[in-house]
Amino acid sequence: MLDRLENEIEMLERHLEVLNAVVLGEPIGISKLSEMTGHSKYKVRYSLRILEQEGLIKPSPYGAITSARISEFTESYEQLLDRFLQKLKQVKDNYRIKPQ
């Protein structure tokens, strides 16, 4: 049950790392992103697909570039992560399971 959550958090971290690399190096290709992040080209390609589906990046003839939506995202994602942290703290505090 918690393994799945951990995997999702790790994937989110990778997507954000790839997005940050695109912001810093745009336009940027898969090979360079793989080099910068240390993730395989396969994982980078998947992250790029997710980021494109979210409307945060778009392809160009020279590599991935950020979309107009990136400013809106960068202004709000930290608040969203803070809400997730608060919710996890509530779960931790409210559901302490103790064997009898």
How does pLDDT run along the chain (100 residues), one tens digit per residue? 889 999 999 999 999 999 999 999 999 999 999 999 999 999 999 999 999 999 999 999 999 999 999 999 988 999 999 999 999 999 999 888 888 7
* Structural domain span for residue 27: 2-94
Q: What values do phi and psi take at 95, rounded to 5?
A: -130, 60
Q: Assess if residue 33 is contained within a domain.
A: yes
Which CB contacts under 8 angstroms, 24+ apart, belong to 74-82? 77/16
Provide the whole-model pTM. Answer: 0.88
Q: Assess if residue 84 is contained within a domain.
A: yes
- Tally of domains within the chain: 1
Q: Give the H or E element holding residue 66.
A: strand 63-66
Q: Assess if residue 54 is contained within a domain.
A: yes
CATH classification at residue 54: 1.10.10.10
Q: Assess if residue 99 is contained within a domain.
A: no
Q: Assess if residue 69 is contained within a domain.
A: yes
